Amino acid sequence: MHYKRVLLKLSGEALMGNRQYGIDPERLNDYAKEIKTLVDKGVEVAIVIGGGNIFRGVAGASKGMDRVQGDHMGMLATVINGLALQSACENSGIQTRLQSAIKINEVAEPFIRRKAMRHLEKGRVVIFGGGTGNPYFTTDSAAVLRAIEIEADVILKGTRVDGIYTEDPEQNQNATKFDFITFEDVLKKGLKVMDTTAFTLSQENELPIIVFDMNTRGNLFKVVSGENIGTKVNL
Ligand code: UDP
Cα gap 90→126, rounded to integer Å: 12
**φ/ψ (deg, to 5) at 34:** -60, -45
Q: 232 pairs with which residues across the strands? A: 180, 210
Domains of the chain, CATH where assigned:
5-234 (3.40.1160.10)
Regarding pTM above 0.90, the answer is yes
Taking the centre of ligand 1 as the mean of its atom positions, its distance from the CA of residue 197, in whole angstroms, is: 13
Taking the centre of ligand 1 as the mean of its atom positions, its distance from the CA of residue 41, in whole angstroms, is: 31
Q: Is residue 162 lining ligand 1, measured as CB closer than 6 Å?
A: no
Taking a C-beta distance cutoff of 8 angstroms, is the pair 53, 139 a contact?
no
> In one letter, which amino acid is 110?
P
Q: What is the pLDDT of residue 19?
A: 94
Rounded to the nearest 10 degrees, the angle between the axes of helix 25-39 and helix 67-91 is: 60
Q: What is the pLDDT of residue 158?
A: 96
Taking the centre of ligand 1 as the mean of its atom positions, its distance from the CA of residue 218, in whole angstroms, is: 27
Rounded to the nearest 10 degrees, the angle between the axes of helix 113-121 and helix 139-149 is: 70
Does 59 have pLDDT greater than 90? yes
71 assigned binding-site residue: yes
Interval 211-227 mean pLDDT: 97
> In this prediction, does ipTM exceed 0.90?
yes
Interval 67-89 mean pLDDT: 98
Q: Is residue 197 lining ligand 1, measured as CB closer than 6 Å?
A: no
Q: Is residue 219 lining ligand 1, measured as CB closer than 6 Å?
A: no
Of how many residues is the chain composed? 235
Cα gap 137→185, rounded to integer Å: 24
For the stretch 113-149, pLDDT in tens is 999 999 999 999 999 999 999 999 999 999 999 999 9
